[in-house]
Structure 1
Amino acid sequence: PPGAAPLCVACAVGPRILESLEMGTVMTIFHQKKSQRPERKTFQIRQDTRQIVWGRSPDKMEGEVDIREIRELRLGKGSRDFERYPEEARKLDSAHCFIVLYGLEFRLRTLSLAAYSEEEVNMWIAGLNWLMVDTQRAPAPQQIERWLRKQFEVMDRNHEGCITLKDVKALLPQINYRVPNMRFLKDKLQAKNELLYSNFAQLYRTLMFDAQRSVSLTLIQINVDRPELCQISLYDFQKFLQMDQRESWASDLSRVREFLMTYMREGPQPEPMLQLDEFLTFLFSKENTVADPRLSPVAPDDMKRPLSQYWISSSHNTYLTGDQFSSESSLEAYARCLRMGCRCIELDCWDGPDDLPIIYHGHTLTSKIKFLDVLHTIKEHAFVTSEYPVILSIEDHCSVVQQRNMATHFKKVFGELLLTKPVDNNADELPSPYQLRRKILIKHKKLVEGTLYEEVTSASYSENDISNSLRNGILYLEDPIDHTWTPHYFVLTSNKIYYSEETSRYQTADEEEEDMLKEECNNNEQHCAERWFHGKLGGGRDGRQVAEKLLQEYCEGGGKDGTFLVRESETFVGDYTLSFWRSGRVQHCRIHSRQESGSTRFYLTDNLVFDSLYHLICHYREVPLRCNEFEMRLENPVPQPNAHESREWYHSNLSRVQAEHMLMRVPRDGAFLVRKRSEHNSYAISFRAEGKIKHCRIQQDGRLFMLGGSAEFESLVDLVCYYEKHPLYRKMKLRYPINEDTLDRMGTVELDYGALYEARTPHFYVEANKMPTARCTVKALYDYRAQREDELCFPKQALILNVDKQEGGWWRGDYGGKKQLWFPANYVEEVSSSPTREMDENSPLGNLLKGFIDVPTCHVAVHKDGKNSRPFVFTIHSQHLSSHPVQSLDVAAESLEDLNCWVSKIREAAQNADARVSEEKQMERRKKIAVELSDLVVYCRPVPFNEDKIGTERACYRDMSSFPETKAEKFATRTRGKRFLQYNRRQLSRVYPRGQRLDSSNYDPLPMWLCGSQLVALNFQTPDKPMQLNQALFLLGGSSGFVPQPDIMRDDTFDPFDKDTLHVEPITLQLQVLGARHLPKNGRSIVCPFVEVEICGADYDGFKCKTDVVADNGLNPVWVQRQFVFDIHNPTFSFLRFTVFEEDMFSDPNFLAQATYPVRLLRTGYRSVPLKNSYSEELELASLLVHIEIYNAKVEDDENMYTSIERLRDRTSELSTRVSLLERSGSADLSYQQSVEELRATQDQLSELVEARNHR
């Protein structure tokens, strides 16, 4: 990183520096929260856990950062944290300040620090640089050791060096492991109640090995009673590497010995060996990864082709950190993309103050950043990760004056880095990345030679582009149920007002904090919602005895000192009593209250008074209670056992039918109630989501409430509070508690019978739904073979009709003469045919659209006195108002100025609608280009795409074209793909997301890459499958940001959509998923994981399989061995993708982790698949263990079978298309019946052949 000490220096001074950092230094921290002023803390490095930790003193830590999450170290005061307190920051010397950027998402967090001296800063930078590298390189046993130390220290808060059995029982569900009971742990630990670190580490090793020993025993043939005592000798390990893993280097025994000693981090010894559990750990380790590390680095010779023969990592709207309409524009987004290897970034330039542009998403609520600041950020970060060229894609909306200033500053800031003239004037093709090393290229419209400036025609005017709207922004709609006002995004065009579903207005960290402070303002009532507050125990009598009983029950089996509850005092009115557990018994302490200036104050001792009971307890959870006998911090609160009985959502005597009748009267997602069931210790939560009523059991087990099998809560109140903040079902959070009073207030008279439905899974309501439902058509993405008699069987590309989208990940439909059978929803995609869907795609809001209003027929009325607590309200009346039952819409603005502006713009648009529409139909935007800026454009000259020029002398290699995804999709097709590839062999093309993707989602990049498009621009801030595929593709280029396209793409006979034109050998990939370790947790439940394995690439290679679900185990699940077989025609352009899901209590799949690799990077044998999060950042210790075999699909023994399978697949596809067309036309003649019969017979033959091959 810039300003950091060279790594060799860090290594040389490592021990001395690390010793000083472990001792700690005092530095000033500038917090990420505005409410926290800068303060001095002691900062230390913990070597055993690889963390930076800090606190008021070395023994009281208040925060930590994992060194494995650090992405950048930066000198100076360049962070928002320093800007929050400018006066304090101004006093500091920049040389004394540095910033740690860390995190596992696109937006990194910052730790902004001011040291005592420059020497101290250099010491921290050098030490952290060394630690970052060493932490990443550490072998698996050492990484596990550090992780175990972290877990142990979290439990050992008082630094006593030991923990209790109860601590371990509480920890294991947090790391995704279900503990049946305390007896299970006692058996594992030979009844030890207190555990040292060594006992805890041994327990971990035992749990991991016991669950997965079957995997290693299958691999190493050992016939002994105690396999855990067996050892893998050096020679056994060498044999495994040679025979099973096919590692050529393992023929040299000395290299195997050296590898094993490095892996074990043991000193020189003649015969290193592995215990069986250590061997199993090796199998899951990164040292055994499925991706061949030798194939990733790019050699200089690979970088000497013309630019057009590479895929180039490209970003869209690089400046944004979130959505396209209200998120923050940030310099950090540029830094992050460039450091991720991105080589083409976008600058969206608009006229700004002082004759210099600003960068933001024009005419939206996205924040603005300065053009000049962006240039400096680009210069600083452009070549840190890769030395290869960076292309700046300029989206120019500026005046000629500001364009001239842009050109001046491009030259001034970038200097020699800026490419201003051709590399070779005589060349007839684009230069290579190697020739353009450390160069910045400008992509911008260029003038015809000899003109000073001219008007250049740009893309046709589109009303659906949000930057062409007359006005857009956040307005509020009133919720008809609870009468709160919720934010929605509105867009006014010349003929429609579009509005989105409820949105969350983007908030900066400061605004979020202000909202939190507002929520906390009612101090006097705040304690009532806390789990530690029990009110009047024993009805105000015998409270002391009840408290003691609760604490004794809670702390049974080794309670932690500091476990506590608070109750109302029985003796002193207005006071409270703190009851807590210490040294094996319950003690009580009075919390006094007194009046000061009309407010109640609370205290334990006179010299420390608090303005609320809540703040008093918060204080003593951070700072210990001190008295003559002891010093103790309040730790775990004892929850209230029956607090739910007084809540408005609880019903002690309500049947399921009665609950449904109540919920049918509130047609709003998020309406809910909790009811007692007739079974002992059983409850149910009944709620509405996606227009349906669902029920889910809650089982009480001792003092815990279990939802869906493994989500544990201390009380029903805890459960409801949790799901008010987190989704319970898909995106639905609990919102409207329902009882008779709320029904009188907000319920409808009419019952919504459509909310009752049939479902395949038994977790919620199962009575048949007689109401008609909307049906759709879907297309199969993959082959699916029925597992049960009530399931459909279909090939890829099949059209399934009359689809009823049921819950639980399974839908019903008609195909191949079979009616309303089940099939998995994730094997298909919906075929867009509905007018609503087209409306979504044609509106500026895309799939966020909730409704629209026709402007020509609307008029506006202002509410002078406001409405329902909102002062600035107006009503839009219209003859056509979609998605709304009435002909008017009440809308609230945030200010009078905002209201007036909206009202005048809507009235103006309604008056001028007809004239403006006809004017816009004829209008194309014309723009003047400054010659100074034009002169900086050398190779990336955007011109309108002209298909007639392809392959002719008029096709200039310096010209390029840009395509929105919708236009590119028309070229990346079976009929035009070959022509598009021909264009891309010589010229550059850039593809970018359509303007309606306001949520910053991404399109499928695979067809564009396959057709040779080099600059396939994606939203890097969005953690979705297209970005994960992008990260996988550029693994082939190391961190260079450039990947050479396969040689086959330069073959004139190659058609990207026709497998018969491939001149590469097809391969067959056989794979088994054996087990997993350390899967991430999703919410409160222990996960029930399954793995989806998919081949992504050309359409003819796409295929998907999945494992069974393992119940309640995310720490060390094992799958029943089942072989998946993939035939891959084009292995040079194929990806193997693993996605780990959890099946939730509603049988819906929820994403947990993923790993995506180019097929040509894969190694065979028993391999580890290190798992990543949705942002493609590695998850700590998370991995799959798989077995992979790859062989030529046409080997002699199998060639006939392979050919037969391919022939049957092609025939199945043809018949499927014919049957679907006949079904859609309603035909049921003899031809249809014959086609259906032949399709079934062909599918059966295909299945039998595939099955036979899989068992060979």
Structure 2
Amino acid sequence: MAKLSADASHDKMKFLTKSRFEVYLESSMNDAFDPSKELTPDKLREKLDKPITHYWINSSHNTYLTGDQLKSHSSTGMYMEVLAQGCRCLELDIWDGDKDDNTPIPIITHGGTLTSKIKFEDVVKAINMFLTQNPNCYPLILSLENHCSIPYQDQMTLIMKKVFGERLYIPHPFDLDYLPSPENLRGKVVLKGKKESGIDMDEDEEEIDERSSHSIESSLEALMMNSSNSLGSIPELVKRSESGNTEIPRHPIEITSQLQGKAFRISNEAPLSYSDRKLLPRAEEFADEENDRLLNSKQMSMKTVQTVDTQHVKIAPSLAEITLFHGTRHKSWEQSNAMPTHHMHSFNDSKVSQRLCRQGIENIGNWMKYNSSRMSRLYPSGLRYKSSNFNPLLGWSTGSQLIALNFQTTDEFMHVNHGRFRQYGGCGYIPRPITSFLSRNGTISRDREVLLKIRVMSGSRLPKPHGTYSGDCISPYVKVSVHDVTIDKVGAREVTKTCKTQAIKGNGLNPFWDHHDFFEFIIKRKSVAILLFTVHNESDDAFIACSSIPISCLRLGYRSVKLFDAWHRRSGAFAFASLLVEIEMYDHQKYKKAEEAARQKRRTAGPRFISLD
């Protein structure tokens, strides 16, 4: 009150003038996002003192890429960009580069593609610059996709020790049994990679998928580069697959691309026709369901032809010594749940949706048990060559800590991720809710169903698409979506419902939606679900602005929803953009009983008569 009242007399009378009440409605004090979730440093320390497995961690996939997975630029600046957005797990895809006076120069690139290369050392220096500016930030996890020979691995170790200095976390023997907390690791750099040293190690899931995706991507690249004689353009191939038509015209062609010592071939030869080499056809294991028919069709065979001696990866002892998390391959839940706590699994999103979350509740229970004391990382399938993202809610709801997304793609699921990590001041770490753990008796915990009712009332200072200052007046409409998950005997499934307002013609300054109906959403898992507002222009459906809020962070009543640009920034033309909404939330079962009681009362009351006397 005191902040908004013009003079002392208003304070004593405890009321606001109309103009100041309007200011209050749009102010941060009336934000739909609960300000109590923005914790002070002291409160953060209390919340972030459990083992690191107890937290969701904001994570990036192929952090260095600025665009697609095939031919976009690699950029050191992307690391600074995602760190500024609150990301705390970064990926570095490292390969042997050139040598300078016999000194190895490790590089970062997406192997087997046309993406450009950047120096590993430059990336490490950029990350250290962020730590210098933010010395008290919670730990940065570097996911090292290591494709380097031993001399280059030794050089990587030297670079990290020299640049990071004391910030580089070197695990002690006791850490291998009890993982430290984010609070204990504050200001540190933690490495994920391979822990065992000096011996040949079987590939983990992510390495296999990387190898497979490099094969697919190189094949797609070859198709694009040889479009005049190829099997068809990528959109055409995808269209055929989605329509179920896998008949591909036969042409007497063979496309071969020799990259990183591996030969990638697309041809109509019979499988296993190369007697002198071992075939590793892994693509179908990691394909989306819609693409399986295409990849496995008899007319088109995508194969990774690879010599046997590249199936194992040897790890330099110097690098193993400074690595905390050891990536291992999942073989069975019995083996996985008996592994040391510093061992961790990685799965692509296709495997999660097809194998982890659609094989019954027992399988989900094993997955959640594993995540209670060990780390797991989920990442986009190798077939997402356009850098699209997947819905992270399945992973969050079943306890995965690291859901790695393509930050360069500002799609709906990236907005959902930004909403999740708005809590705790954007520090990148969110305590997992109790529902993401198994209960003490080994059952899956559940939230009480709630009914969420949303009414969009008005908007204020809505910018033009892309924040431009010129062009025609916009005709905005608002989409309201709830992203949720349901878990039953069949498995875990994504549940998304979207409602839309009508467009307000030619008014982005102060549009008003004159309707009294609420959008209604039944929410199964309140602790995980996300509410997403997106504003669009009617003429071309262009994205204007958005806001994403965890259901557990909502405030009820008449509230202001702050809007952000596609990169989740609130500046420039977006600095004052907002929506005014009305929010109601009820226990769903109690609400249904109350409605039924009201209907029964109306039925038994009988007709009402009005006396005219």
Question: What range describes the TM-score normalised by the shorter chain of this pair?
Answer: 0.7 to 0.9
Of residues 319, 344, 363, the one that matches 1:933 is 319
Of residues 22, 27, 48, the one that matches 1:285 is 27
1:291 aligns to what SS in structure 2?
coil
Q: Which residue of 1 aligns with 2:110?
A: 361
What is the CA–CA distance in structure 2 between the aligned matches of 1:1136 and 1:1123, rounded to whole Å? 15
Change (3 A) 1:469 1:1013: closer
What is the CA–CA distance in structure 2 between the aligned matches of 1:1021 and 1:1165, rounded to whole Å? 35
Deviation at 1:269, TM superposition (A): 4.7
Written as runs of structure 1 = structure 2, the 5 A alignment for 1:947-986 is 947-949=332-334, 952=337, 954-969=338-353, 970-973=355-358, 975=360, 976-986=363-373
What is the CA–CA distance in structure 1 between the aligned matches of 2:567 and 2:248, rounded to whole Å? 34
Q: Which residue of 1 aligns with 2:462?
A: 1079
2:10 aligns to what SS in structure 1?
coil
1:1183 lines up with 2:578 in the alignment? yes
What is the CA–CA distance in structure 1 between the aligned matches of 2:76 and 2:506, rounded to whole Å? 43
* Matched residue type, 2:352: A
Q: Which residue of 2 aligns with 1:1200?
A: 593
Change (3 A) 1:370 1:427: closer
1:1069 lines up with 2:427 in the alignment? no
Change (3 A) 1:447 1:1012: same
Greater mean deviation of Cα atoms: 1123-1132 or 386-395: 1123-1132
Q: Which residue of 2 aligns with 1:276?
A: 18
Q: Which residue of 1 aligns with 2:561?
A: 1169
What is the CA–CA distance in structure 2 between the aligned matches of 1:435 and 1:400, rounded to whole Å? 31
Q: Which residue of 2 aligns with 1:1047?
A: 434
What is the CA–CA distance in structure 2 between the aligned matches of 1:1134 and 1:414, rounded to whole Å? 38
Written as runs of structure 1 = structure 2, the 5 A alignment for 1:445-464 is 445-447=194-196, 452-458=198-204, 459-460=207-208
Of residues 480, 499, 503, the one that matches 1:1093 is 480
What is the CA–CA distance in structure 1 between the aligned matches of 2:231 and 2:153, rounded to whole Å? 34
Deviation at 1:1129, TM superposition (A): 3.5
Q: Which residue of 2 aligns with 1:1104?
A: 498
* Matched residue type, 2:168: L
What is the CA–CA distance in structure 2 between the aligned matches of 1:373 and 1:1204, rounded to whole Å? 68
Deviation at 1:496, TM superposition (A): 7.8
Q: Deviations 1:366-396 (Å, cap 9, x if unpaired)?
A: 1111111111111111464562111111111
Change (3 A) 1:1128 1:457: closer
* Matched residue type, 2:342: R
Query: Is residue 1005–residue 1016 contact of structure 1 (8 Å, CA) maintained in 2?
Result: yes
Change (3 A) 1:853 1:331: farther
What is the CA–CA distance in structure 2 between the aligned matches of 1:991 and 1:370, rounded to whole Å? 26
Q: Which residue of 1 aligns with 2:606?
A: none
Change (3 A) 1:859 1:311: closer
Query: Is residue 486–residue 524 contact of structure 2 (8 Å, CA) maintained in 1?
Result: no
Q: Deviations 1:979-1002 (Å, cap 9, x if unpaired)?
A: 211111111111111112121110
Query: Is residue 1070–residue 1125 contact of structure 1 (8 Å, CA) maintained in 2?
Result: yes
Query: Is residue 397–residue 435 contact of structure 2 (8 Å, CA) maintained in 1?
Result: no
1:993 lines up with 2:380 in the alignment? yes
* Matched residue type, 1:415: G
1:407 lines up with 2:157 in the alignment? yes
Q: Deviations 1:158-177 (Å, cap 9, x if unpaired)?
A: xxxxxxxxxxxxxxxxxxxx
Query: Is residue 475–residue 506 contact of structure 2 (8 Å, CA) maintained in 1?
Result: yes
What is the CA–CA distance in structure 1 between the aligned matches of 2:560 and 2:567, rounded to whole Å? 20
Question: How many residues are aligned here?
Answer: 538
1:1129 lines up with 2:524 in the alignment? yes
1:338 lines up with 2:83 in the alignment? yes
Of residues 442, 455, 463, the one that matches 2:191 is 442
What is the CA–CA distance in structure 2 between the aligned matches of 1:296 and 1:314, rounded to whole Å? 20
Query: Is residue 176–residue 341 contact of structure 2 (8 Å, CA) maintained in 1?
Result: no
Change (3 A) 1:366 1:1050: same
Q: Deviations 1:1139-1164 (Å, cap 9, x if unpaired)?
A: 222322xxx74432211101121122
Query: Is residue 393–residue 528 contact of structure 2 (8 Å, CA) maintained in 1?
Result: no
Query: Is residue 60–residue 90 contact of structure 2 (8 Å, CA) maintained in 1?
Result: yes
Of residues 505, 510, 515, the one that matches 1:1116 is 510
1:378 lines up with 2:127 in the alignment? yes
1:1131 aligns to what SS in structure 2?
coil
Query: Is residue 950–residue 983 contact of structure 1 (8 Å, CA) maintained in 2?
Result: no
Change (3 A) 1:907 1:464: closer
Deviation at 1:910, TM superposition (A): 8.8
What is the CA–CA distance in structure 2 between the aligned matches of 1:1204 and 1:309, rounded to whole Å? 43
What is the CA–CA distance in structure 2 between the aligned matches of 1:1053 and 1:1025, rounded to whole Å? 35
Change (3 A) 1:964 1:1204: farther
Query: Is residue 471–residue 491 contact of structure 1 (8 Å, CA) maintained in 2?
Result: no
- Tell which has more relative contact order, 1 or 2 (C-alpha 8 A, sep 6+): 2
Deviation at 1:972, TM superposition (A): 2.6
Query: Is residue 456–residue 928 contact of structure 1 (8 Å, CA) maintained in 2?
Result: no
Deviation at 1:456, TM superposition (A): 3.8
Change (3 A) 1:347 1:839: farther
Written as runs of structure 1 = structure 2, the 5 A alignment for 1:683-1082 is 835-836=241-242, 857-858=252-253, 915-916=273-274, 919-921=278-280, 925-938=311-324, 940-949=325-334, 952=337, 954-969=338-353, 970-973=355-358, 975=360, 976-1052=363-439, 1061-1062=445-446, 1064-1082=447-465
Of residues 213, 216, 219, the one that matches 1:465 is 213
Query: Is residue 363–residue 472 contact of structure 1 (8 Å, CA) maintained in 2?
Result: no
Change (3 A) 1:1133 1:911: closer
Of residues 224, 234, 252, the one that matches 1:500 is 234
Deviation at 1:859, TM superposition (A): 6.9
Deviation at 1:1050, TM superposition (A): 2.7
- Identity, in percent, stands at 32
Q: Which residue of 2 aligns with 1:1154?
A: 546
1:996 aligns to what SS in structure 2?
coil
CA-based RMSD of the aligned residues comes to 3.9
What TM-score do you get using the length of structure 1 for normalisation?
0.40
* Matched residue type, 1:1048: T
What is the CA–CA distance in structure 2 between the aligned matches of 1:1202 and 1:945, rounded to whole Å? 49
What is the CA–CA distance in structure 2 between the aligned matches of 1:337 and 1:909, rounded to whole Å? 40
Query: Is residue 561–residue 579 contact of structure 2 (8 Å, CA) maintained in 1?
Result: yes
Q: Deviations 1:15-50 (Å, cap 9, x if unpaired)?
A: xxxxxxxxxxxxxxxxxxxxxxxxxxxxxxxxxxxx
Deviation at 1:284, TM superposition (A): 2.7
What is the CA–CA distance in structure 2 between the aligned matches of 1:951 and 1:915, rounded to whole Å? 36
Written as runs of structure 1 = structure 2, the 5 A alignment for 1:575-590 is none
Query: Is residue 483–residue 496 contact of structure 2 (8 Å, CA) maintained in 1?
Result: yes
What is the CA–CA distance in structure 1 between the aligned matches of 2:4 and 2:254, rounded to whole Å? 79
Deviation at 1:364, TM superposition (A): 1.7
Deviation at 1:1170, TM superposition (A): 1.2
Deviation at 1:501, TM superposition (A): 5.0
What is the CA–CA distance in structure 2 between the aligned matches of 1:444 and 1:411, rounded to whole Å? 16
What is the CA–CA distance in structure 2 between the aligned matches of 1:414 and 1:462, rounded to whole Å? 28
What is the CA–CA distance in structure 2 between the aligned matches of 1:1153 and 1:473, rounded to whole Å? 34
Deviation at 1:440, TM superposition (A): 1.0
Q: Which residue of 1 aligns with 2:289?
A: none
Deviation at 1:323, TM superposition (A): 1.5
Of residues 139, 144, 148, the one that matches 1:398 is 148
What TM-score do you get using the length of structure 2 for normalisation?
0.78
Query: Is residue 341–residue 1039 contact of structure 1 (8 Å, CA) maintained in 2?
Result: yes
Q: Which residue of 2 aligns with 1:551?
A: none
* Matched residue type, 1:271: H
1:1181 aligns to what SS in structure 2?
coil
Query: Is residue 203–residue 329 contact of structure 2 (8 Å, CA) maintained in 1?
Result: no
